[in-house]
């Protein structure tokens, strides 16, 4: 028989090894899934992880897309990780991402066809404010009525999706679009356009904001008293109260910060790669960013590496769908496996497995 025994302190070796082992197990389980679907598992894994970076046929397109996909994932995940460290679970970043994009698009379309330099900065402020305001709903409900922020933030995602559909088919629909859903092309509207900063690299202002957020989070968590409060609240809530940490203020700060980052990600996406508000604007970045945060061990530098890896699965997944005719749902399951294995293996950081043979003392096993 097998049983778990709590370790005296978390294993540093397993903390480091868990993400790597989780990725390897995801490849194995994903390969089995692709084989069940009748596809060559080795070819599918190669298309997802190798060809986007090293294939002459695909790399010219895929390499710039790596930063395009990784930017919003890293930006959202950094904001989420600060709350997760404090034990505050914002699961609704997808909704905050959508609302941020809607608010930013509203500013751009409201000034159309103006030429002011101030339009793009106002869009950034509007995107951050929209995401912040949407995150404040579960935050205030938690602090005032002790509701569960997981459920409230998650349910608000579906409300945001309804608002997105209403905007694309109604109050933001392009009046010159012949009745088709979708707003004007914001990317072609120069003052509101988030263009590539270096042509052919995929580097735009959203990617810059993501790396600025990484530096900000690192300084906050490692060099600021607020970061100490965040980590103390997550590791020892009772001790945090004795140390003077205000739970209400911490919830509002963590939820608001993660919402603002998600809203900015939506703003940079709608003004750049997505180009316009459409019914299918949301690409699941808010949910995938949760995987990025945990795969990166809630550490800013780890989140950068995890964001690049998950961005690679997005690009490779699209290639696999095109080349092997894999269903999109299979790629989503493949990404979900990564979080499943990561959380399962996390047990080994805090517990060790003991073998208890019949008639023997399990402590001796």
What count of Cα atoms within 13 Å lies in the side-chain half-sphere of residue 217?
31
Total residues belonging to the chain? 365
Nearest-angstrom CA–CA distance, 76 and 81: 9
Beta-strand runs (E) in the chain: 2-6, 351-355
Decide if 274 is inside a domain: yes
Decide if 200 is inside a domain: yes
At which residue do the structure tokens 């930063």 appear? 67
Decide if 357 is inside a domain: no
Cis peptide before 38 (omega within 30 of 0): no
Nearest-angstrom CA–CA distance, 209 and 169: 30
Nearest-angstrom CA–CA distance, 251 and 150: 13
Residues near 172 by Cβ (< 8 Å), separated by ≥ 6?
102, 105, 106, 109, 183, 277
Cα–Cα distances in angstroms (integers) from residue 279 to residues 53, 206, 236, in the given order: 31, 22, 43
Contact 262, 74 (CB under 8 A): no
Closest CA to 128 of 255, 290, 262: 262
Decide if 336 is inside a domain: yes
CATH number of the domain to which 93 belongs: 1.10.3470.10
Nearest-angstrom CA–CA distance, 213 and 219: 10
Nearest 10 degrees: Cα torsion 279, 167, 66, 89: -100
Nearest-angstrom CA–CA distance, 152 and 201: 38
At which residue do the structure tokens 């397109």 appear? 61
At which residue do the structure tokens 């095109």 appear? 322
Decide if 88 is inside a domain: yes
Burial class (CB in 10 A: 0-12, 13-18, 19+), 340: middle
Domain coverage including residue 317: 61-344
Neighbours of 184 (CB within 10 A): 22
Number of domains in the chain: 1
Nearest 10 degrees: Cα torsion 11, 15, 16, 20: 130
Q: What is the pTM of this model?
A: 0.91
The predicted pLDDT at position 365 comes to 41
**Strand partners for 2:** 355
The encoded tokens of residue 350 equal 């805090």
Decide if 50 is inside a domain: no
The predicted pLDDT at position 360 comes to 57
Decide if 234 is inside a domain: yes
Closest CA to 181 of 196, 165, 161: 165
pLDDT string in tens for the chain (365-residue length): 777 888 888 788 888 888 899 999 999 999 999 999 999 999 999 999 999 988 888 888 888 899 999 999 999 999 999 999 999 999 999 999 999 999 999 999 998 887 888 999 999 999 999 999 999 999 999 999 999 999 999 999 999 999 999 999 998 999 888 888 999 988 778 787 888 888 888 899 999 999 999 999 999 999 888 888 898 888 777 777 777 788 899 999 999 999 999 999 999 999 988 889 999 888 889 999 999 999 999 999 999 999 999 999 999 998 999 899 988 889 889 988 988 898 888 888 888 888 766 655 555 44
The predicted pLDDT at position 11 comes to 83
The predicted pLDDT at position 356 comes to 67
The predicted pLDDT at position 156 comes to 97
The predicted pLDDT at position 361 comes to 54
Decide if 313 is inside a domain: yes
Contact 327, 336 (CB under 8 A): no
Residues near 70 by Cβ (< 8 Å), separated by ≥ 6?
207, 210, 307, 308, 310, 311
At which residue do the structure tokens 């890896």 appear? 309
């Amino acid at each position: 028989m097998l049983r778990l025994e709590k370790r005296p302190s978390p294993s540093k070796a397993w903390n480091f090894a868990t993400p790597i082992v989780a990725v390897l197990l995801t490849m194995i389980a994903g390969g089995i899934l692709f084989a069940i679907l009748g596809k060559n598992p080795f070819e599918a894994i190669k298309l997802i992880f190798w060809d986007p970076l090293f294939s002459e046929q695909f790399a010219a397109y895929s390499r710039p897309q790596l930063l395009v996909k990784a930017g919003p994932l890293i930006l959202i995940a950094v904001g989420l990780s600060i709350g997760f460290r404090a034990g505050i679970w914002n699961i609704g970043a997808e909704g905050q991402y959508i609302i941020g994009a809607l608010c930013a698009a509203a500013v751009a379309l409201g000034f159309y066809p103006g030429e002011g330099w101030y339009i793009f900065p106002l869009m950034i402020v509007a995107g951050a404010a929209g995401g912040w305001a949407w995150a404040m709903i579960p935050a205030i409900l938690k602090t005032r009525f002790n509701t569960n922020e997981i459920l409230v933030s998650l349910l608000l995602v579906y409300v945001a999706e309804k608002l997105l559909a209403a905007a694309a088919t109604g109050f933001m629909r392009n009046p010159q679009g012949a009745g088709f859903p979708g707003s004007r092309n914001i990317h072609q509207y120069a003052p509101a356009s988030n263009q590539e900063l270096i042509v052919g690299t995929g580097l735009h202002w959203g990617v810059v904001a993501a790396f600025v957020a990484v530096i900000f989070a690192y300084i906050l968590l490692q060099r600021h008293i607020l970061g100490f409060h965040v980590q103390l609240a997550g590791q020892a809530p009772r001790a945090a109260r004795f140390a003077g940490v205000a739970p209400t203020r911490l919830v509002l700060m963590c939820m608001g910060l993660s919402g603002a980052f998600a809203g900015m990600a939506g703003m940079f996406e709608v003004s750049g790669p997505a180009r316009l508000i459409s019914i299918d604007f949301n690409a699941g970045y808010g949910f995938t960013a949760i995987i990025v945060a945990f795969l990166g061990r809630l550490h800013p530098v780890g989140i950068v590496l995890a964001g690049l890896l998950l961005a690679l699965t997005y690009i490779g997944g699209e290639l696999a769908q095109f080349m092997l005719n894999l269903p999109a749902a299979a790629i989503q399951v493949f990404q979900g496996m990564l979080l499943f294995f990561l959380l399962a293996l996390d047990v080994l950081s805090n517990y060790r497995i003991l073998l208890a043979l019949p008639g023997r003392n399990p402590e001796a096993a």
